[in-house]
Copies of this chain bind each other. A is one copy, B any other.
Amino acid sequence: MSISVDAYVSGNRQRFLDELNAFLRIPSISTLPENRGDIDRAAAFVAASLRGAGLENVEIISTSKHPLVYADWLHAPGKPTVLCYGHYDVQPVDPVEEWRSPPFEPTLRDGNLYARGAADDKGQLLTHIKAVEALRAVRGAPPLNLKFLIEGEEEVGGESVARFVAENAGKLRADVALVSDTSMYADGMPSLCIGLRGLVYMEVEAFGAAKDLHSGNYGGAAPNAVFALVELLSKAKNRRGVIQIPGIYDDVEPPSPAEKESWARLPFHEKEFLKREVGAKALTGEPGYTVLERIWARPTFEVHGIAGGFTGAGAKTVIPSRATAKVSIRLVAKQDPDKVITAFRDFVRKKTPKGIRTEVRVLSASPAVLVNPGHPATDAAAKAFEAVFGKPTAFIRSGGSVPIVGDFARHLGIPAVMMGFGLPDDGLHGPNEKFRLENFYQGIRAVARFFEEYGQ
């Protein structure tokens, strides 16, 4: 069966590429109002593609922002249902002068297809649709039930899809979600992401004097909002990188010994990571944990931005009256976002320096997501991945969050198979984004194989 899918994919290489190119030529940048028409064109492209693959009940669903595309095929009674997710919107292209070929004119160089959205996420979402097409062509019908939900706001917060999932649990009922919006751990290494960190994102603002004051006339007696915020934030971690917010580590569940062992076998090279990816003088973080543990399985406190006082050219001797910082706490398994927010608010209240008033505003909060590697869909995906790529599947985690995975867990009660075909150097969100063309074809084969395995 899978040989037939292989052959079908091989026989349709050029047409699949042409279709992907047509999709990539639509500049569906979700953050720019002037591209609103392209958003609609991209949604229509997805709908047509789904229809072409034999999906039914194809709908373009209006939202308060960008349309969702829904489709299903539900004629495999007794078989599980997979909810396929993807997004047709893309990031802006700045700085456009750094692109070697225009971002919306897909260009093949050295086996890579360069275009905005090639890996994130147009090329990857198309693997799901083309897998269905291939399965129908070679066996007449998909081996299980399918639902598709494709959104157009992933790069701008994904509010509409979150609301739709919350309000349409019945329509979206499924056994597992399939999300192809991540990368493989390394070139040629099939990898399933089975854990994501959660995220609490907050703003902290400090207020001192009623207005900015002259540091000659008041320096030494008036509170300085910038320095107060600096003092406050500095207390959130000690110099070894251990978070000092009381209780923050209470509910942290460590990875199992088996998981830790498998991470130790991954081709991770700390020196290369420091040199090629980070480019700093040294790595930092909690002592006693490997880099992968620190990124995948430990909570973090980061300051994402800070602003206050005079920051123009030259000198201005002002005592700033206010200052703001954006901060986040990444969460790992078993940590409750609300409990963490309360702990942070308490910390800020207790550490706010004299003469200063502080405010904490929560911008978003989502828990960590962990998928049991023993789940049947995960097993099926691992087998499919291994069969197509010829190497054992690695079970990895990601230090980031994929909010939709949290929404599926929360509202539909289902886990997600995160089966990504991107590579770590695909340059998502930056100039010269690419997708390895071979990974596009192998991705189609792997998704089809996953449907077959899971449908057995």
Contacts and interface: CB of A to CB of B under 8 A. Distances in A.
Given A284-B222, A309-B303, A278 B353 contact: no
A218 B277 contact: yes
A415 interface: no
B221 A278 contact: yes
Contacts of A307: 306-307, 311
A350 interface: no
A330 B281 CA distance: 33
A116 interface: no
Contact of A328 (B213, B237, B317): B317
Nearest to A298: B220
Interface string A208-230: 11110111111111111011001
Contact of A323 (B197, B285, B306): B306
A256 interface: no
Contact of A284 (B199, B215, B283, B354): B354
A206 to B, nearest CB: 11
A205 to B, nearest CB: 12
Interface residues of A, number: 79
B311 A216 contact: no
Contact of A294 (B213, B220, B226, B230): B220
Given A216-B330, A298-B220, A303 B226 contact: yes
A334 to B, nearest CB: 17
A283 B223 contact: yes
A213 to B, nearest CB: 7
A443 interface: no
Contact of A311 (B224, B227, B306, B309): B306
Contacts of A282: 223, 354-355
A305 B226 contact: yes
A77 interface: no
B300 A215 contact: yes
B306 A221 contact: no
Interface stretch (A105-113, A381-389, A397-405): A397-405
12 contacts: A157-B314, A209-B279, A210-B278, A213-B278, A216-B330, A216-B398, A219-B295, A231-B237, A281-B354, A284-B354, A303-B309, A305-B318
Interface of A: 157, 197, 199, 201, 208-211, 213-224, 226-227, 230-231, 233-235, 237, 239, 273, 277-286, 291, 294-295, 298, 300, 302-311, 314-320, 323-326, 328, 330, 353-357, 363-364, 398-401
Given A216-B399, A221-B291, 17 more contacts: A213-B277, A217-B295, A220-B294, A221-B284, A222-B283, A226-B304, A227-B302, A231-B234, A231-B239, A280-B356, A281-B354, A282-B354, A284-B354, A284-B355, A303-B320, A307-B307, A315-B364
